[in-house]
Amino acid sequence: MAYPYVSNAEVRVISQYFGDPTHRRIDTYVKRGGYKALEKALALEPDAVTEEVKASGLRGRGGAGFPTGIKWSFMPKEPTRPHYLLCNADESEPGTFKDRELMRWDPHQLIEGCLIGAYAIRAQHVYIYCRGEFFEVNQILAKAVEDAYMKGYAGEDILGTGTTIDITVHQGAGAYICGEETGLMSSLEGDRGEPRVKPPFPAAVGVFGMPSTINNVETLAVVPHIILNGGEWYRQWGTEKSPGTKLFCVSGHVRKPGNYELPLGFPLIDLIDDVCGGIRDGNQLKAVIPGGSSVPLINAEDARKCELDYEGCVEVGTMLGCASVIVMDHKADLVKQIRRMVDFYAHESCGQCTPCREGSAWTARILRRIEEGQGTEEDLDTLMEMTEQMVGTTICVLSDSVAAPVQSSISKFREDYLELIRSGEQAGAA
C-alpha cells in the first residue's frame, strides 16, 4: 500500500495518482495523457465545451452544489471587457482537506481544468487563489504553472491555436471568509476579504469589476476528464441529480481517516463502517457532520439512513456541503466541540453584519458558560431564538453556519446540554 486513501469501494477519477510522487512532473503527466483534454477543448467552440460540462451534470464541489455548466453559461457570450476565471483554492472549512491533496499530488490536472474552464467562459486570465498556509502546495503549484508556461500549455498562443490564457497563482493570507466567492474577490483586489451583496452576481460584476466565474479546485479538476470522455461517461456514477464521483474527507473518530473518492449516493454508514474501518476503539457512533462544520449535524439513527448526495443529505435534515465527514463517537464531548466551532466562526466573522459579528461572539460566550457548568435550561431557548435571527439576515452565509451546528445539536442532543447544566447546578447547590 502506497498511500492511506485506498479502498475497494473507491472510483478514482481525480484521485487516481494520489500517492505517486512522479505525477507532479509535467513529463509524467503528459505521458499519461495529460493536456489531451485541453487540446480537444481548444478545437471546439467555447460554448460546446460548456455544453459538454452541462451534459455531465457536474455540480460545484465547493459546497453549494450549483451546476457548473449552467454557471459558466451565465458569462457574456461576446466579451467586451476582460473575463476572469477564479479558482477557489482557499480550502479552510473545518473538516475539509481534499483540495490540498488534489493540488499537491496532481497540480497539472487542476491547471488543465483551469485552462479549459477559462476557454469556455472566454477568459484570458485565471487566478488560482491558494490558501496562504499552504506553503508547500503553493510551491508545488508554482513549479507546475511555470512548467505549463514553459511547454506552451499556458500563456500566449496555446498549442499554436492562437488562444491566450494566463494563469496567476495568488497566495492568501489567512482568512476563512476569503473562501466565500465575493470575499475572495475582495481579497484578490487587495482589500479586506469582506463579502459583497449579490446581485450583482460575479458573472456580471466580479473581480476588478469584470465578469467572473469562480469554481472550486475539485470542480475544475474533474473538467479535463469530462472533456476527454464526454458528459455521458461521467453520469455512469452517482445519481440522476447528483452525478459523478466526489472526494469524501473523513476525519474524527474513525479507524482510517482520509480522502476517499466515491460515487455520489454512497451510503454514509458504509463509508464509516467499511471504507473507514468503523469507529475507533470499538466505540459507538454518536453524531456525524457530513459536509463540513457549516452544516447541521445528525445523530446515528439518521446517519444510517443517509445517502451521500446533495438530495440524500437534505432528506435527513443536513447538507452535503463539501463532503467533509466529521465523525464523533459516544465519548465525544459534543457541547465542547460545538463551542469550538462557534469560537471559530466568531474569530472568522468579517464583522460587516451585526447579526453575525455580535451573534457569533454571544453564542460562543453562552456555550462556554454551559460547558463550564454555569448554564441554565433557559440558555438553550436563548440560543435557539438568537441563532434563528442569524439565518438569512446577513450578506453571506457565515452567520447561517453558526446557527446550523448550534440548532441541530440542541434539537438532537439536548440531553448533552442538560447534563452539563444539571451537573453545574448540583455542584452549585453542594
List the interface residues with other proteins, window 218-277 (CB under 8 A).
249-253, 255-259, 277
> Which of 91, 106, 180, 307 touches other proteins (CB under 8 A)?
91
Radius of gyration of the chain (CA): 22
Q: Report the distance separating Cα 157 and Cα 370, nearest Å.
A: 62
C-beta of 371: minimal distance to other proteins in Å? 13
Q: Report the distance separating Cα 335 and Cα 414, nearest Å.
A: 10
Contact between 340 and other proteins by CB under 8 A: the answer reads: yes
User: Toward other proteins, which CB reaches closer, 21 or 33?
Assistant: 21
Q: Report the distance separating Cα 295 and Cα 312, nearest Å.
A: 14
> Which of 216, 324, 360, 401 touches other proteins (CB under 8 A)?
324
- Please give the grid coordinates belonging to residue 52: 459538454
User: Residue 14's closest CA among 140, 144, 109, 148?
Assistant: 109
> Which of 80, 197, 199, 281 touches other proteins (CB under 8 A)?
281
Q: Report the distance separating Cα 238 and Cα 15, nearest Å.
A: 16
> Which of 51, 133, 311, 379 touches other proteins (CB under 8 A)?
133
Please report, as residue ranges, which positions from 47 to 86 form the binding site for other proteins (by CB under 8 A): 82
Residues binding other proteins: what is the number (CB under 8 A)? 83
Q: Could you give the angle at the alpha carbon of 231 between the alpha carbons of 120 and 29, nearest 5°?
A: 70
C-beta of 8: minimal distance to other proteins in Å? 15
Please report, as residue ranges, which positions from 294 to 313 form the binding site for other proteins (by CB under 8 A): none
Strand partners, 263: 245
Sheet with 212-216, edge to edge strand ranges: 166-171, 125-130, 84-89, 212-216
Helix (H, G, I), strand (E, B) or coil at 259: strand
Please report, as residue ranges, which positions from 173 to 192 form the binding site for other proteins (by CB under 8 A): 173-176, 187-192
Provide the strand spans (E) within 152-264: 166-171, 212-216, 245-252, 258-263
> Which of 350, 370, 397, 402 touches other proteins (CB under 8 A)?
350
Choose the binding region for other proteins from 47-55, 61-69, 113-121, 124-132 (rule: CB under 8 A). Answer: 124-132
Contact between 104 and other proteins by CB under 8 A: the answer reads: yes
C-beta of 149: minimal distance to other proteins in Å? 6
Are 93 and 217 spatial neighbours (Cβ–Cβ below 8 Å)? no
Please report, as residue ranges, which positions from 352 to 391 form the binding site for other proteins (by CB under 8 A): none
User: Toward other proteins, which CB reaches closer, 53 or 165?
Assistant: 165
Choose the binding region for other proteins from 7-15, 90-98, 390-398, 419-427 (rule: CB under 8 A). Answer: 90-98
Q: Is the peptide bond before 296 cis (omega within 30 degrees of 0)?
A: no
User: Toward other proteins, which CB reaches closer, 129 or 310?
Assistant: 129
